[in-house]
A and B are shown apart, each in its own frame.
Chain A
Amino acid sequence: MFTSAFAATMTAVDEPTVEDPGGFFGALADGAEYFIALFQAGGDFFLALVTGILPLLIVLLTAVNALVRLIGPERIEKLGAAAARPGIVWYPVRYLVLPVLAVFFFTNPMAYTMGRFLPERFKPAFYDSAVSFVHPITGLFPHANPAELFVYLGIAAGITQLGLPLGDLAIRYLLVGMVVILLRGILTEFITARLMARRTAQEGASA
């Protein structure tokens, strides 16, 4: 979209209506035109973003914000207490269900407050898991992290310009994101446990 407007400015530059001034002032004028053209290209890009992305985003954000308000974040907090339990069954709850719901309902950065329901040894893993989800979620639910949309939107804009649908990419981004946060949670919990054990062993040795 912005390339066509960009091409239009190019042709406008190619067809001068008055004779070009030569010499020093000519060079100055060329420089000025080049300078303005830099920002003209940026402006066209901005316009494409505002007309292409904002309308959908505003309506979607409003709908999801309303949904979050209607359901109420306090219900999610109850789940946080349950996720602290030991056992392999609770891994997906701790590092998949809880982070996904936390990011959806509390959004970045308030989602990390859900860590307070977990014992200390799970907190780094939960943070890792939750923070890794703040980008994959933006494909479908941009309300969760509006300040960092362009990680996804930047690449998505390229797909759109090719005339390809985005739904497939957004849903795969979300699903792979879920697998990754679960893995990250489990691995970080393991590393945290190792580091904590080493630290207590050192303290025991020095005491």
Chain B
Amino acid sequence: MSTSTTKKSGFDSFNSVLVTLGRGVGGVVNTFYQAGRDTIETIIRNILPFMAFISVIVGIITKTGIGDALAHLIEPLAGSLVGLLGISIFCAIPILSPVLGPGAVIAQIVGVLLGTRIAEGDIDPQYALPALFAINPQVGCDFIPVGLALGEAEPETVEVGVPAVLFSRLITGPISVVIAYFASFGLYAGA
């Protein structure tokens, strides 16, 4: 009698271990599967369309020779600290920054253009880091009221917040380029 109960309870605990294990593994597998599903959806909805868009622009720019003309324009700017500071101040001008912001489309196109110039050796690879910050002081400037609304801000806060962020960018934009410039020492030094 007693042996049968211990056997039964032993079987029960083994059973419950199996159930817990099965549930845990199932949960993890399900999480990864769902993550994969999210990933593919992101790729199809966000990444591939942008790749197609960028490809059309790059194809036209490289084949027509506009790329070379643009390169002569960009090179002196992107290849020196002063030029990069100029780009960052331009991007941070309070009237221009909300215009340059949407979808970061302009920053992305300039990024690709600079990338092709770096690949061809016109711009020192070390300048990649400050350049990343130079083309970015306008980030999110088109989105301030929406972003603040997402944070449940009062309308009064939005009224103050929009100019506060825009003016702050005018100062922090160039500062970020300088920080990035000094942080880029030793980057690809051997190349």
Segment among A20-28, A81-89, A116-124 that sits at the interface with chain B = A116-124
Tell me how far the C-beta of B51 lies from the nearest C-beta in chain A, rounded to whole angstroms: 5
Among B9-17, B68-76, B151-159, the one that faces the other chain is B151-159
Residues of chain B within 8 A (CB-CB) of A168 are: 187-188
A105 on interface, CB distance cutoff 8 Å: no
Report the separation of the CA atoms of residues A41 and B59 in the bound assembly, to the nearest whole angstrom.
5
Does B135 sit at the interface, judged by CB under 8 A? yes
Chain B residue at minimal CB-CB distance from A183: B172
A149 contacts B by Cβ under 8 Å: yes
- List A contacts of B132 (CB < 8 A): 135-136, 151-152, 155, 173
B50 x A147 contact (CB < 8 A): yes
Q: Which residue of B lies closest to A161 (CB)?
A: B119
Q: Is A126 an interface residue (CB 8 A)?
A: yes
Task: Determine if A158 and B108 form an interchain contact, defined as CB atoms under 8 angstroms apart.
Answer: no
A116–B153 Cα distance when bound, in Å, is 7
Instruction: Name the B residues within 8 Å of A149 (CB-CB).
Output: 47, 50, 108
Chain A interface mostly: helix
Interface residue? B113 (CB, 8 A): yes
Which residues of B are interface residues toward A (Cβ below 8 A)? Answer: 28, 31-32, 34-36, 38-40, 42-43, 46-48, 50-52, 54-60, 62-64, 103-104, 107-119, 121, 125, 128-129, 131-133, 135-136, 139-140, 143-144, 146-148, 150-154, 156-157, 160-165, 167-169, 171-172, 175-176, 179-180, 183-184, 187-188, 191
11 A–B pairs (Cβ distance < 8 Å), ordered by A: A38-B64, A46-B55, A49-B54, A124-B162, A128-B140, A148-B103, A151-B107, A158-B117, A164-B125, A168-B188, A187-B168
Q: Enumerate chain A interface residues (CB-CB to B < 8 A).
A: 6, 37-46, 49-50, 53-54, 57-58, 61-63, 65-66, 69-70, 109-110, 112-116, 118, 120-121, 123-128, 130-132, 134-136, 143, 146-159, 161-162, 164, 168-169, 172-173, 175-176, 179-180, 183-184, 187-188, 191-192, 195-196, 199
